[in-house]
Chains A and B, each alone.
Chain A
Amino acid sequence: MEMLAPATPKSWYLPSKPHKFCPGCGHGITLKALGEAIDELGIQQETIFGCDIGCSLLAWNFFACDSTQTHHGRTTPVMVGIKRARPELITIGYMGDGGGYSIGSQHLLNSAVRNEKVTLILVNNTNYGMTGGQMAPTTLPGQITETSPYGRDPESTGYPTRGPEFIAELTPEGAYVARATVSKYKQLRRLIRNAIRNQIEGNGFSFVEVLSTCPTNWRTNANQTWNFLEEKMEQYFPVGEIKSPLGKGDK
């Protein structure tokens, strides 16, 4: 019997497949949506993909696009440097919530303020995955991690960062800011595509946070993983476009 294989995005780099993310991780879904968005926009040749340290690092050779891997939190300035040097290139930075909201937050904040014409995709899985599941800026109140073993206490560690909301406040008109989730694939792909289109049109800074799953460090089974994503995370982090210059009716 013939196997029915799911379609692989043209912009994926096949020698690096199957990918190295853990079973149940949301990175694969996010990167599939990104691959399809690159294909739909026909920008494989001019795309520069950059990734951070952390789990996002495992995407360093994911695409058949020219790619560069940077340091923890430093993907944003590297992408900015590339875009400033070669504005004709489409720069897509890929990072986690630790890289974007903590160690690299000054870069995210200031590149948003400067309305840099880059697209950044930030995967929020509420913890530092690669380093073994420590508390992240996005860890939910009460959530147990390796560095909040009794549950995150907002009294001593603050409340989770709502990134797209603060970036929307910092950016001028022309910026694109959205939050997607790996539980709603078509929307995820559409928001990522919009964030790239916004760069292509030269409108401004383009940012998508993607709510994602980390069953390895959450220590959850499939059911618990999906429930945490859809019930806990999506409640605290509302999904949808927060700011878009692209107009309504874009489906």
Chain B
Amino acid sequence: MEKIIGEPKKAFMTGNETVAWACLAAGADIMFGYPITPQNEVMHYWTRLAPKYNRGFLQTEDELSAGFTTCGAVQAGKKAFTATAGPGNVLMQEPFGMAEAMRLPVLSIIQQRGGPSSGTVVYSQQEVTLTTYGGNGEGHRIVYSTATHQEIYDYVIKGFNIAWKYRFPTFVLGDGYQAKMREPLEMYDPEDKGIEIIKPYPLIGIPGNIGESREPQHLCNIYSLEEELYEVLMKVSAEYEAISPEIVEFEARYCEDADIIIISHGVVSRAADDAVKILRAQGIKAGYFRPITLRPFPQQQLRDVIAQSGAEHLLIAESAYGQLERLTKQEIYGETVKIDNLFMPGVGIIDYDIIKKVKSII
């Protein structure tokens, strides 16, 4: 594969610029996008970089079109991606549903903004429910929630690989803070780090002559009978469940003897990490648990951490009003640990907010 970065190099840049470089390094062929804040600079950087590396771009008429053109390009065998946020993410749920139904390895970068409706253009963690379960189906998709620019770079590369390996639509879920702030990271060519790049392949327009060496490909996402759809869904569900253990990622720290475990994801987990260190210094036994994959969710891992620590409390902290909480509760149903929450929808959370909340609980 084409070397983009050469020797691994330190960079200091915004998350959106990081996305563009990571897509380039991952071998993305084409981006389809439509302007919406706070993801715009993904397109700004991609449109500057793409022609130099013979990659494609199309600014479509809306997010429906961006999603469906991405689906088309992926069917034709190209590594295609899109990026969106907020109301654009709502519109894209229709093509994402098609990607789920037809098992299209579409990669999408979501930079969450405030909601509902136009909300704010700034920041939130309010697109968790939408990004994990937003389709008119079963949520057969893979969602990584990143916390740092290094992770944006790493998980964009991984996202393409996972999408093409397992053929489920894959998401890198960031937010406005990660999109717009600058921070240091190391950029690299993935193969230099021993990362195998999964090659894309066409689902239509495939090699061989129809009627001679192969049958025509007839892709569809609609079925005449309930039983036909049922059979497909049960098969896809079983496949999704079977691969989930290979995909699930999480972080757990200071949990072994914790009295209270703070659960957070994305950029909020950085505040949680700081808070836990400060609380520990003050003699409060706090632990840290962060799902990196929100779909599939590290269910067993969280149950194990709760069991091993014997913690009496969970504190779920998020920049939304209970979206991570609902996701977590459904995954750990039956656990008897007390669950408290720190819901700050649409605003940032800092270590102080978490520390104050923890002290009010124990």
- Rounded to whole angstroms, the CA-CA distance of A13 and B217 in the bound complex is 11
Within 8 Å CB of B217, what residues of A? 66-67
Residues of chain A in range 23-80 having any CB-CB distance to chain B below 8 Å: 44-46, 48, 50, 53, 57, 60-61, 63-71, 74, 77-80
B218 and A81 contacting across the interface, CB-CB below 8 Å: no
A60 and B220 contacting across the interface, CB-CB below 8 Å: yes
A77 and B69 contacting across the interface, CB-CB below 8 Å: yes
Within 8 Å CB of B206, what residues of A? 66
Residue A102 interfacial (CB < 8 Å): no
Number of A-B contacts defined by CB within 8 Å: 130
- With A85-B29, A86-B76: A110-B61 Cβ-Cβ less than 8 Å: yes
Residue A220 interfacial (CB < 8 Å): no
Residue B64 interfacial (CB < 8 Å): yes
B219 and A107 contacting across the interface, CB-CB below 8 Å: no
The stretch of B14-22, B208-216, B315-323 in contact with A is B208-216
A81 and B29 contacting across the interface, CB-CB below 8 Å: no
B205 to chain A, nearest CB (A): 5
Partner of B73, one of A45, A85, A106, A110: A85
Partner of A106, one of B62, B76, B102: B62
B140 to chain A, nearest CB (A): 17
A9 to chain B, nearest CB (A): 13
B204 and A82 contacting across the interface, CB-CB below 8 Å: yes
- Rounded to whole angstroms, the CA-CA distance of A71 and B136 in the bound complex is 13
B204 and A67 contacting across the interface, CB-CB below 8 Å: yes
Within 8 Å CB of B94, what residues of A? 71, 74
Within 8 Å CB of B64, what residues of A? 74, 77, 106-107
Residue B30 interfacial (CB < 8 Å): yes
A164 to chain B, nearest CB (A): 20
Residue B348 interfacial (CB < 8 Å): no
> Chain B 60-74 against A: per-residue CB contact (8 Å), 1 yes, 0 no?
111011011111111
Residue A84 interfacial (CB < 8 Å): yes
B68 and A70 contacting across the interface, CB-CB below 8 Å: yes
Chain A residue at minimum C-beta to C-beta distance from B73 = A85
B216 and A13 contacting across the interface, CB-CB below 8 Å: yes
Residue B225 interfacial (CB < 8 Å): no
Q: Is the interface of B mostly helix, strand, loop or mixed?
A: mixed
B68 and A81 contacting across the interface, CB-CB below 8 Å: yes
A65 and B65 contacting across the interface, CB-CB below 8 Å: no
Residue B77 interfacial (CB < 8 Å): yes
- With A48-B205, A86-B78: A77-B60 Cβ-Cβ less than 8 Å: yes
- Rounded to whole angstroms, the CA-CA distance of A1 and B204 in the bound complex is 43
- With A69-B220, A69-B222: A82-B210 Cβ-Cβ less than 8 Å: no
- Rounded to whole angstroms, the CA-CA distance of A77 and B67 in the bound complex is 9
Residue A246 interfacial (CB < 8 Å): no
- Rounded to whole angstroms, the CA-CA distance of A81 and B65 in the bound complex is 9
Within 8 Å CB of B220, what residues of A? 60-61, 68-69
Partner of A86, one of B68, B77, B222: B77
B222 and A53 contacting across the interface, CB-CB below 8 Å: yes
> Chain A 79-94 against B: per-residue CB contact (8 Å), 1 yes, 0 no?
1111111100100000
Within 8 Å CB of B337, what residues of A? none
B80 and A57 contacting across the interface, CB-CB below 8 Å: no
Partner of B76, one of A13, A45, A67, A89: A89
Chain B residue at minimum C-beta to C-beta distance from A44 = B210
A66 and B216 contacting across the interface, CB-CB below 8 Å: yes
- With A77-B60, A84-B30: A64-B80 Cβ-Cβ less than 8 Å: no
Within 8 Å CB of B102, what residues of A? 68
B219 and A68 contacting across the interface, CB-CB below 8 Å: yes
Partner of A67, one of B58, B62, B65, B218: B218
Residue B286 interfacial (CB < 8 Å): no
- Rounded to whole angstroms, the CA-CA distance of A107 and B66 in the bound complex is 10
Smallest CB-CB A-B distances: 4 pairs? A81-B72, A81-B69, A85-B73, A110-B61
